[in-house]
Structures are given as C-alpha cells and as structure tokens.
Structure 1
Amino acid sequence: MTLFSLARKNIARNFSQYFLYIASMVFSIVIYFTFVTLKYSDIVSEMTKSSQKMGSLMSGAAVVLIFFVAIFIAYSNSFFMKKRKKEVALYALLGVRKRQIGFMLFFENLLLGVFSLVIGVFLGFLSSKLFVTVLIRLMGYDVVAPFTFSTEAVINTASVFLIIFFITSFQGYRLIYQFKLIDLFHASKKGEVAPKPSWVIAILGVISIGTGYWLALQNLLTSEAWRILGMFTPLIILATVIIGTFLLFHSVTGFVLTLFKRREKWLWKGLHLMTISQLLYRVRGNARTLTVIAILSATTVTAGGAVYSLYYNINDNVKLTDPNTFMYEQTANVDNDKVTSLLPTTKYDENISALFVTFEAKQLESAMSIDEDKRIYTVINETTYNKLARLQQKEELNLKGNKATIIDVQYHESLSPKYAGKTITSKKGTAITLEGYHEVPVLNLMAGMTLVVTDAQYKELEKQGESVQFRAIGVDNATTDLSKKIASALPEKAQFSSAPEDYQSGIEGMGSLLFIGSFLGLVFLAATGSIIYFKVLTEAEEDKSQYNMLYKMGVGAREMRKTVASQVFVIFAVPLVIGLAHSAVALTAFSKLFSMDFTKPVIIWMLAYTAIYGIYYVLTVYSYNRIITQNNKREG
C-alpha cells in the first residue's frame, strides 16, 4: 500500500470529521472564484460605468480573502494535526519512518485541498449566474445574467489555493519532526493552561474596553482626547478593545462563573456542577480563541452593518438632496421646448426665479472653515419656497421678525456654523439676520446653499445679485433613460440635476460594496463558526471518558444532551454577545459621524448574522452529542 493510497483511505474513514473543514474551504473558494469571475465579467463591465472601479474592488476583496483564508486554513489544520498526534505516534511505534509519516500527512492534507478546490470551482461556476445576477440587482439593474466561465478565473483560483494548500500540507509534514514520541501520545490531553482569575486583570479588562468605547463615542472634531491623540486614536481604540476583550475572557468571565458556583442549591441540581467546572476551564483556558471569535464577529457585523445602512438609506438621501425629479438652470442656449417634448405627464413643472448673492459672512464660523469671509448663496423668497413646498408635500416656512433662514441639507452639529442670531451682509450693505437653519430643501443640491428671505428682503436684494432662472420638474416613476435623453438635450452649463441618475449612481456604488461586504462577511462567519466547531469537538474527544463514567453511573442521555447544549451555548454566545456589543458601539459612532439613523438596517444585519451563527451552534451540539453517544455505546 502506497503512502498516497493510505492518505486517501484515512480521508475516507474520517470524512465526517473533516466535513465542516472541507465545507468552509469550499465556500471560501466559491467566493474567491466568484470575485475573480466578476472581475473578468463582460456583462458587469457593460452594465456599469464604473467597471474599472468594480474590478479594483473585486481585486482588493480577493486579496483580503486570500489573507484571511490562508490564516483560517492554517489555524484549522493545526486542530486536526493535534487530533491526529496519537495516530501519528502509533505509526512511529510500529516502525514507520518519520519521512514516510510526514509524506502521508502531506498527501492527506493536499488531497483535502485539491478535493475542496475542484468542488469549489465547480460550484462557483454553477452559482456564477446567481452571484452575478445578485450583484446586478443590488446595483439597480433588472437583468438576469447568463452562465459565465472564465479560464483566467480558474487559473487564478487554482494557483492561489494550491500554494496555500502546499504550505499547510508542509506544516503537516513538519509535525512528526517537532515532537518526541511520548509528547505525541499525550498531545490530546494537553490543553491550554487555565489561568487563575485576578481582580486586577478583571478590572483592567473592563477599564480597557470602557476606554475604547468612550473614545469611539467621542465627537472626533470637538473631543479634546481626539485632538491630543490625533491620527493614532483609531489604533488606540482597536488596541484597547482587543486587549480588554482578552482580559475579559481571561478573568472577568471566571469571576462570573465562580459566582454561579457559589449558588449551592442550584449547583447540585442535575449536572450543573460539571457544566460550571468545565466552563471555568474552557472559557478562561481558551481566552485567545474566544477573543479572536469576538473580534471577528465585531469586524464582520460592523463592516456589513455600516455598508448595508448606507445602502438602505440611499433612497432617503436622494429625496433629500434632489427633491425635484429634474432641475436645471435656464441658460441662454437651453431649448425648453425640446425638453418639454421629452417629458411624460408631470406632477409639476415650475420656473423658479432666484438670485446669486455674495455675502460677507464672518460670523458664520465652523469647524471646517477655510476662508469664510465671503459666501455665495442662492436666494429665493418665502413665497417661492412655500409654493414648491406645497407641490412637494412638505411643511411651509413662516419667517418671523423679518428674518431669513438657511437651507442646510448637510447640516452637522459639529461641522456646520451656528446660524441662529447671526448676521450676513451683502456687498451693498443689506444686513440679513438668520433665525436659524432648515434641513428640508425645495431646490436640488446643484443650486448650492439656499437662503430663504422674506418677499420684501428679496426685492431689496434683486439689484445686488445675479438673477438666475431654474426649471424644477416633478415626474412619477422617472427612469434613467428619460434622464439621459433630457441631459443630451441640454448644454453642460445648465448643470442638469437628475434624481433617477443620482439614485442609480448611489445604488450602483453601494450595491457593489454591499455585495463584496456581504460575501466577505459570510466567509468570515463560516470561518468563525468553524473555528469554534473544531475547538469544541477537540474538547469533546477529551471529555468522552467523563461522559462515559456518567453513563455508567446511570445519568440519562437527555440530561447529558442538556448539559452539552448549555455548555456549548456559553462558548458560542459569550463571544457573539461581546462582538455585537463592540459593533453596536462602532456603528453608533458611524451613525453620528454620518448624521444618519442606522438603527433598523443594523438590527436586520445583526439578526441575520446571529441566525447563521446559530446554525453552527446547532451543528456543533449535534456533533458533540454524537461523539459521546457513540463512545458510550462502545464502552457499554
């Protein structure tokens, strides 16, 4: 029997144990193959104006994926090698040379990799139509993509993953040379040393996380801490949260479990004593692994939640910046009749009189001020504003005390000027006092910052500014095709503004980011769940004798299943809860920065992540129970 055939038989015999490892690798390969395929996809290039940008995004995502998958495969492989050490020791005891054992492990891991690669590329090809269609739909196009097969994508994927598999296979080859025979026999009994909980370390962990949270929630423009720390602040936040998370698992959870252990009445019910005792070892002893899981969960949820929130709010943002479906400046060369001939039935079609007026605005200082002495505003009167507001079904203005108001769509509490009570003065000395700002526009953003004044003030300013005429059009169910026809009929100086085009541009950019972020997030989630799965099942092999003893003492299978479920639940739930807490703080900071409400999309994203994560929990509990049940039957 050759080493290659022996490796093949070992894989066939232990396939059920390798299944999730293979499944995670196949999923990673499918996603990588998809990214590379999309990079070379003609239909994506044809459907999007930003095909070059899309290619760059896909390439960047592929690099991140390669880096992450390489670490994940190496990490997962180390678990399997630990599990195989006793088997390796038996080969050595039977007189098989180290070189031969090393080659057997090398071939075994390489076969797993090649098998995963073939399945991954095949499934990637079958699912390419679905993935390309999803991408195109997310980008706002109603098109069903055909099946695409890219030779370049196959060569790229095969080259990258064969290199990764070769390196991890060599890791298995080196295993036999790294340990003495006695070490290999006792490897399965060697766990991570469980550190003793310390009040000092526990307090440091809480303070570290609290510091990171506090810094993250500070206003980055007005915070003294951000000003002092400068560009190092994000790194400090990241470092404090990661260190704090590790210390949390190292000691804080130990104290919490110890408190449960002191509740003697509860402790002696069922198998609570065994559950708490094992958790005291497992949670603290696996502090590094659980820290990695928590940080990966936080990263995945934060990145995905932020992108999904921006995608979710695109329509609202376009409605805010483009309240009119179409709008343009009526310059000398504009053929209004030609534009009218292109229009379908309109809700409204209004000619808007406005002024471009330069004001001295020294009082309007802001955090982003560079040269604020002079500002040019688009001025409209109160009557014009209210007329458009009625057409757009918005609340009308009621200027009091001969004061004006600024329409600042992008108002930010920290960045924007404090408008209320401030005065701006035209070149000819007309003073305009502001009652504040208003965030509901009636002109598209292309008109610039709008100043709404009383009718009397407008008449006074007419001789001091440049007169301008805008055409504002409201159309139901307008399309980008209609927008392009109108744009082609207008000169560039008309500064044509189109809500459908802005929506399409936003949905295209954020849709591509959401596609990439979602699939990278799924890979991270698959790896996260797999790491816990491998870790827990490795410990299940070590716990077989304890559960067998309980079985012989008369403990029922139902009680043991309940104990397993509660123990595994803690291992899964604690890093998930901490990861979600980290991401909640990060997303709160992002929402404040962008002045947007992320609550609903973030909750949706967190629930989706938790649901998929829960599947790994169910699978792990099932596999754990199967291991101890089969062992009890054999021993019984």
Structure 2
Amino acid sequence: MLLKLSMSGLKSKLKDYFVLLAGLIMSVSIFYMFQTLALNKAFLESNNAGISSIQFVFHAGSFLLAIITFFYIMYANSFLLSLRQKEFGMYMMLGAKKHKIMTLMFMETIVLGFASLLLGTGVGVGLAQGVGQLLMKQMEFTGSGYHPFYFPSLQVTAIFFTILFVLSAILNTIKMSRVSVLQLIHAEANTERATVKGKMTIVAAIFSLVLLAIGYYSMIKINVFAQVGIIVALITITSGTYLLFMTFMPWFINLFKRNKRSYEKGLNMFTFAQLHFRINSLTKVLGTVAMLIALGAGAISTGMAFQNNVMATANMMSIYDAVIHNPTTKEKSMLDTITFKESDEYRFKYDSKFVYYVKEDLVSHPPFVRVYNGMSGVKNTGEIKRVSDELPLGDSTNWSDDWHEAFRTIHVDGAHPDRKIRIVNEQQYEQLKGEAGVAFVGQADDFLKYEQQWKELDQLQVAKFKLDSVNQLDSKYSAYKMMHGFSSGLVFMGFFLGIAFLAMMASSLMFKILTGATKDISRYQMLRKIGVRKELLTKSIYKEQFYVFLFPAIVGIVHVLIGLNMFSFIILDPYYRVWVPLTLFIAIYMVYYVVTVQMYKRIVLPKEQ
C-alpha cells in the first residue's frame, strides 16, 4: 500500500523528476566524457610528447570535475527530498512507520541514481563520439588512441556515481530520521534568518575585497610570480568570492530597501523580502556558481587562445612561409601551385668553408626582419620591415642586428652544415669557382590554405639535403606543427572541461533555488487570496530569480576577463575571441534561468480553479 501511495505521489511530480533525472544524466555523461581523456593512456601517449607531458592537467581537471559533480549531486538530491517531505509526513500521520518511509526514500534515490547512471553513460558515449570527433576535426587533431567507448572510463564512472548515489541516499535517510512528523508537514512554513549586521560583516567585506585584489594582482603579474602566483590566485580568489557573496549580497538588499520610491513600487517589497529570507542559504551556492562560470568560460577561452596561438607563434618564429635553397624541378612545380604575395631570390655560391651571398641582390630586394620595441615577454611580437641598414662586404663581424636577424631567416643551416656566410659583390661573385645556387623566400596569401604543400616541400628538402628530420630545416611549417601538436591536447581538454563546467554551474543554482521553493508556497497563496494578480506574482518571480542569477554571472565574468591574463606569458593573445565562450555561457545561463522560473512558478503559485 505504501509503495502504491509513493508511486502515485511520484507520478504527480513527474515533470519535476524528469528535470532532476535530466540533470543527473547530464552530470554522468559529462563525467564519463571527460574520463575518456583523463584515463586513456593510448590517447595521451600517442599524440606527441607535448600532450603526454600534460597528463597531470587531465587528471587535475578530472579531480576538479569530480568535486563539482559531488556538490551537484548533493543539490539535486536535496531537491528530491524537498519535493516529497510533506507527502512523507502525511504518510506518517496516517500510520506509516518511520523506518518504512526511510527505506522508501533510500530506494527511490538509488533507483533514480542507477537509472541516470545507465542513461548517462549511454549519452556520454554518444557525446564522446560526437563532440570528440567534432573538436578533432575543427582542430585538425588526429587523436589516435581516442575511443568514445572506453571500458576503464566506464568502470570509474560507474564506481564513482554508485558511491555518490549510495552516499546521497544515506544522507537523505539520516536527514529524514532527524526530522519529526510535524516538521515534515510544515516544512514550507520554516523561514531562514537574514544575515545579522555588525562590525564583523564590515571587516569580512573589506577582507573579501583585499583577497580578490591580491588574487587579481597575482594573475596580472603572473610573469613575475610564476607558479606561486597561480597558487596564491586560486586560494585568494576562491575564498574572496565566497566572502564577497556572504557580505555584499545582504548589503545590496538593504541598500535597495533604503530607496523608498523603488522599494515600495509594485511588489518590490515582497520580492526583496524573499531575497532577504533566503540570502544565507544562497551565498555559498552563488559563490560556487561564480567560480564555475570563471572555470568554464575561462577553460573555453584559453582553449581558443591556444588554438589561435599556434599560427601566431609560427609567424613570430619565422617571417617567411617558404625558405628553399636550390629548388628542384619538383619543388618549383609545387611552388607554382602557391600564390605568393611577397617573394624574392638571392644568389649564392658555396665551397667547403663558406656560403657567398651577392650584396646587390640583398640590397636591391632587402629581406624582411621583425623589429622589437624593447619590451620583454611573449606579447612582444614586433613589426615586420625590410632591412635598411648598410651591408658591409666580408663576414658577419660588422653586420647590424637586423642583418643578423635576416640571415637567420633566409639561410638554411641544414643545407650548408659547418659553412660560414660571407658577403661579396657582383664582380667577386663571378670570379668564385664554388657551386652556384639560389635561395627562394616567399610569403603566401594564406599559410593554412597550403598546409599540404608546406609539408611536402619540407619532406623534399629533408631528402635533398640528407637531414635527419624536418626540425633541422627550422621552417615555419615545422614550427607550426610543433606548436599545433603541443596545443591540441590543451585545446581539446579546455573545451571538454569548459562545456562540463558551464553545463553544471546553472543547474546547481537551479536545484538549490527549487529546493527551497516549497517554503514559499504559503506566502504566494496568501498574496493571491488578498487579490494580488497572478501577472504581478509572475513578474516578481522573474525579478527575484534574475537578481539571484545576475550577481554570480557578473563576478564570474570579471574573474574570466582578469584571469585570462595568467596565460599572457605563453599565449600571444589570451583574449582571442573571448566573446564566443561568454556568449555560449550567457545562452546556457538564460536557458537555465527560464527553466528555473517556470519550475518555481509551478511549485509556488496556487492552482487556478
């Protein structure tokens, strides 16, 4: 009989359970999806030493995701308990034993958990396949060894969530055991105490700003503090964020209440009274959401910046797209398929000791060099110009810095091992008896458009000069592939982790808000009975939840915009297209805001006759 009553109650709240189940499925699928990276050794070890060297990043991200998932499940199960506690109180009033109710609650939590685990792993395999292949295609990242269905990941996910759901069921059962029948029946009548004002609140508010200032300064000056700055920023910003919400949210509400004109307009008095009642329980979750926003949007932003950094770094390391000495017939035919916006040829002769370049060729068509402005750091990319300094005859003793830089670009050391460079005039060149050759340099209209040609040209030169590897050419393509191999794993992990955090952050806030919704039912019923229109109550709900969603969004975005500066010492433009992840975050956030409001309305607003 008790089971039938329970199933009947469950059916009456089927929509709420569906949202809860969808959230749990999302949590499981994202966790599994990330485990396919964190545990897949074949994927990590077979994709360049750059990726295998950052295995700790994947494991650290996995650990962080596990912590977030733990709190997410706690919020979700609190919502589950809040949905049924009055119903369970009624069963006990009708004679049901408390241990029977506790067993029923335990079974419901476990069944819901295992259903979400089963469906979530299936969705996770699909997402791992779809999202993984999409990201690899966009980043031109082969990802050999990556398998969407990976048994060790499935095993870890199953063990982790089984423990988590059992623990949640036990905690819910313990909570139920400590609550009396009357407390269950009148659960929605309980109110939360507002924050008590005092000197300690002011001190804590100031201290939160000091902690945030220290954290921001550590990130801005990351090139000075290095790893210590990262550790300091993590500690100070995390603690500062929680303190900020604990102190400034009550202050903001009280500040608004002092503005009588706005406070007494419409249902603003009721709206801010609602915020005042629940502010204590919300501060911690608001801090968590703000940090999740920063981590999620920051991870995607950093991934995009690393992707952009590949080509930017290659351009900085080598001005010319192609530097070829003595082009063969096959190399010339390959060059003919490329559209060059700038190209030059420099004659030379070489013997056993020297490579002789013709001064007239170099002076009439000076090579490009990168001019730096004296600043240090990765952001100092410099401007490109043609060399205008005097070029003396002879060896490099009297060359200017620009000419030294120019010959580092146009001269291929691998083609002329152990030979020094000398400058000769036209007449001297004609009298030399060494082997004649030409150095071709060019800048294409679009480097990535001709990626296959650069690859084949490098391979032809390696074979022609009998080099050990492409790296000995020091070409732009070799620099590009080196940076691409190093950054692809970081970009891949950044997008995975970012999507996981962004998907979880708003749903955590949603479940926390809905957990306390039953306590607000009586207040909305009272307002409706005294004649307040439903449209005004709906407007009040939208406004109340807007403020709750707004503040962590602002703080999280500020964290992202300042925190990206941490990567300025290894990324040329850490703010590259930062609007993309922020737009993605806002879209996800707005969806959860609308869903939360609709579910909250269904719980608190009285049903119309």
Aligned residue for 1:265?
261
Aligned residue for 2:215?
212
611-620 or 62-71: bigger deviation: 62-71
Aligned residue for 2:544?
567
Structure 1 residue 485 corresponds to structure 2 residue 459: yes
Summarize deviations over 1:559-580 as a string: whole Å, max 9, x none: 2121111110000010110111
Structure 2: 5+ residue runs without aligned partners? Answer: 351-356, 383-394, 415-420, 425-436
Equivalent AA in structure 1 for residue 456 of structure 2: L
Summarize deviations over 1:171-205 as a string: whole Å, max 9, x none: 23333334444444454444553212343333333
Q: Does structure 2 retain, via aligned residues, the 8 Å contact 1:129–1:145?
A: no
Judged with a 3 Å threshold, the aligned counterparts in structure 2 of structure 1 residues 33 and 594 are, in CA distance, closer, same or farther, namely closer
- Give, in whole Å, the separation in 1 of the partners of 2:272 and 2:33: 44
- Give the helix-richer structure, 1 or 2: 2
- Give, in whole Å, the separation in 1 of the partners of 2:258 and 2:166: 51
Q: Does structure 2 retain, via aligned residues, the 8 Å contact 1:202–1:251?
A: yes
What is the DSSP-based 3-state SS (H/G/I as helix, E as strand, rest coil) of the residue aligned with 1:243?
A: helix
- Give, in whole Å, the separation in 1 of the partners of 2:346 and 2:373: 19
- Give, in whole Å, the separation in 1 of the partners of 2:257 and 2:583: 32
Aligned residue for 1:625?
601
Judged with a 3 Å threshold, the aligned counterparts in structure 2 of structure 1 residues 584 and 55 are, in CA distance, closer, same or farther, namely closer
Q: 1:398-477 maps to which residues of 2 (within 5 A)?
A: 411=377, 442=409, 472=441, 477=450
Structure 1 residue 302 corresponds to structure 2 residue 305: no
Q: Please state how far the C-alpha of 1:262 moved relative to its aligned partner.
A: 2.0
Identical columns (%): 23
Judged with a 3 Å threshold, the aligned counterparts in structure 2 of structure 1 residues 441 and 147 are, in CA distance, closer, same or farther, namely same
Aligned residue for 1:376?
none
Q: Does structure 2 retain, via aligned residues, the 8 Å contact 1:195–1:285?
A: no
What is the DSSP-based 3-state SS (H/G/I as helix, E as strand, rest coil) of the residue aligned with 2:523?
A: helix
- Give, in whole Å, the separation in 2 of the partners of 1:610 and 1:622: 18
Q: 1:515-594 maps to which residues of 2 (within 5 A)?
A: 515-591=492-568, 593-594=569-570
Aligned residue for 2:391?
none
Equivalent AA in structure 2 for residue 518 of structure 1: F
Q: Does structure 2 retain, via aligned residues, the 8 Å contact 1:408–1:437?
A: no
Q: Please state how far the C-alpha of 1:520 moved relative to its aligned partner.
A: 2.1
- Give, in whole Å, the separation in 1 of the partners of 2:161 and 2:17: 18
- Give, in whole Å, the separation in 2 of the partners of 1:581 and 1:407: 30
Structure 1 residue 241 corresponds to structure 2 residue 244: no
What is the DSSP-based 3-state SS (H/G/I as helix, E as strand, rest coil) of the residue aligned with 1:492?
A: coil
Q: Please state how far the C-alpha of 1:615 moved relative to its aligned partner.
A: 0.9
- Give, in whole Å, the separation in 1 of the partners of 2:75 and 2:411: 53
Summarize deviations over 1:321-372 as a string: whole Å, max 9, x none: 23333447x7xxxx864873673415447458799xxxxxxxxxxxxxxxxx
Aligned residue for 2:20?
21
Q: Does structure 1 retain, via aligned residues, the 8 Å contact 2:139–2:488?
A: yes
- Give, in whole Å, the separation in 1 of the partners of 2:87 and 2:358: 83
Q: Please state how far the C-alpha of 1:51 moved relative to its aligned partner.
A: 11
Q: Does structure 1 retain, via aligned residues, the 8 Å contact 2:253–2:276?
A: yes
Q: Does structure 1 retain, via aligned residues, the 8 Å contact 2:47–2:144?
A: no
Judged with a 3 Å threshold, the aligned counterparts in structure 2 of structure 1 residues 249 and 487 are, in CA distance, closer, same or farther, namely same
- Give, in whole Å, the separation in 2 of the partners of 1:535 and 1:68: 14
Q: Does structure 2 retain, via aligned residues, the 8 Å contact 1:76–1:534?
A: yes
Summarize deviations over 1:204-225 as a string: whole Å, max 9, x none: 333332333234323642xxxx
- Give, in whole Å, the separation in 2 of the partners of 1:340 and 1:93: 89
Q: 1:90-169 maps to which residues of 2 (within 5 A)?
A: 90-140=90-140, 149=149, 154-169=154-169
Aligned residue for 1:422?
none
Of 182, 199, 204 in structure 1, the residue corresponding to residue 202 of structure 2 is: 199
Equivalent AA in structure 1 for residue 162 of structure 2: L
Structure 1 residue 343 corresponds to structure 2 residue 330: no
Aligned residue for 1:311?
307
- Give, in whole Å, the separation in 1 of the partners of 2:590 and 2:539: 17
- Give, in whole Å, the separation in 1 of the partners of 2:142 and 2:99: 58
Q: Does structure 2 retain, via aligned residues, the 8 Å contact 1:324–1:444?
A: no
Judged with a 3 Å threshold, the aligned counterparts in structure 2 of structure 1 residues 55 and 89 are, in CA distance, closer, same or farther, namely farther
Q: 1:491-530 maps to which residues of 2 (within 5 A)?
A: 491-492=467-468, 495-530=472-507
Q: Does structure 1 retain, via aligned residues, the 8 Å contact 2:212–2:240?
A: yes
Q: Please state how far the C-alpha of 1:590 moved relative to its aligned partner.
A: 2.9
What is the DSSP-based 3-state SS (H/G/I as helix, E as strand, rest coil) of the residue aligned with 1:601?
A: coil
Judged with a 3 Å threshold, the aligned counterparts in structure 2 of structure 1 residues 71 and 272 are, in CA distance, closer, same or farther, namely closer
- Give, in whole Å, the separation in 1 of the partners of 2:77 and 2:292: 19
Q: Does structure 1 retain, via aligned residues, the 8 Å contact 2:35–2:62?
A: yes
Q: Does structure 1 retain, via aligned residues, the 8 Å contact 2:311–2:480?
A: yes
Judged with a 3 Å threshold, the aligned counterparts in structure 2 of structure 1 residues 22 and 381 are, in CA distance, closer, same or farther, namely farther
Structure 1: 5+ residue runs without aligned partners? Answer: 356-378, 398-404, 417-427, 448-452, 457-467
- Give, in whole Å, the separation in 2 of the partners of 1:7 and 1:488: 75
Equivalent AA in structure 2 for residue 605 of structure 1: P
Q: Please state how far the C-alpha of 1:28 moved relative to its aligned partner.
A: 2.6
Aligned residue for 2:251?
255
- Give, in whole Å, the separation in 2 of the partners of 1:307 and 1:35: 15
- Give, in whole Å, the separation in 2 of the partners of 1:596 and 1:522: 24
- Give, in whole Å, the separation in 1 of the partners of 2:363 and 2:127: 52
Give the TM-score, by structure 1 length.
0.73
Judged with a 3 Å threshold, the aligned counterparts in structure 2 of structure 1 residues 547 and 111 are, in CA distance, closer, same or farther, namely same
- Give, in whole Å, the separation in 2 of the partners of 1:512 and 1:493: 23
Judged with a 3 Å threshold, the aligned counterparts in structure 2 of structure 1 residues 617 and 443 are, in CA distance, closer, same or farther, namely farther
What is the DSSP-based 3-state SS (H/G/I as helix, E as strand, rest coil) of the residue aligned with 2:158?
A: helix
Q: Does structure 1 retain, via aligned residues, the 8 Å contact 2:299–2:494?
A: yes
Structure 1 residue 387 corresponds to structure 2 residue 365: yes
Of 582, 587, 591 in structure 2, the residue corresponding to residue 606 of structure 1 is: 582
Judged with a 3 Å threshold, the aligned counterparts in structure 2 of structure 1 residues 139 and 433 are, in CA distance, closer, same or farther, namely closer
Judged with a 3 Å threshold, the aligned counterparts in structure 2 of structure 1 residues 51 and 243 are, in CA distance, closer, same or farther, namely closer
Judged with a 3 Å threshold, the aligned counterparts in structure 2 of structure 1 residues 133 and 352 are, in CA distance, closer, same or farther, namely farther
Q: Does structure 2 retain, via aligned residues, the 8 Å contact 1:275–1:563?
A: yes
- Give, in whole Å, the separation in 2 of the partners of 1:487 and 1:43: 32
Q: Please state how far the C-alpha of 1:261 moved relative to its aligned partner.
A: 1.5
- Give, in whole Å, the separation in 2 of the partners of 1:231 and 1:351: 46
Q: Please state how far the C-alpha of 1:134 moved relative to its aligned partner.
A: 0.9
Give the TM-score, by structure 2 length.
0.76
Number of aligned residue pairs: give it: 558
Equivalent AA in structure 2 for residue 113 of structure 1: G
Q: Does structure 1 retain, via aligned residues, the 8 Å contact 2:316–2:381?
A: no
What is the DSSP-based 3-state SS (H/G/I as helix, E as strand, rest coil) of the residue aligned with 1:599?
A: coil
Q: 1:15-54 maps to which residues of 2 (within 5 A)?
A: 15-36=14-35, 48=47, 53=52
- Give, in whole Å, the separation in 2 of the partners of 1:470 and 1:19: 69
Equivalent AA in structure 2 for residue 162 of structure 1: T
- Give, in whole Å, the separation in 2 of the partners of 1:290 and 1:7: 33
- Give, in whole Å, the separation in 2 of the partners of 1:439 and 1:590: 30
Judged with a 3 Å threshold, the aligned counterparts in structure 2 of structure 1 residues 51 and 94 are, in CA distance, closer, same or farther, namely farther
Equivalent AA in structure 1 for residue 575 of structure 2: T
- Give, in whole Å, the separation in 1 of the partners of 2:510 and 2:580: 25
What is the DSSP-based 3-state SS (H/G/I as helix, E as strand, rest coil) of the residue aligned with 2:194?
A: coil
- Give, in whole Å, the separation in 1 of the partners of 2:375 and 2:331: 29
87-96 or 566-575: bigger deviation: 87-96
Structure 1 residue 279 corresponds to structure 2 residue 271: no
Q: Does structure 2 retain, via aligned residues, the 8 Å contact 1:37–1:150?
A: yes
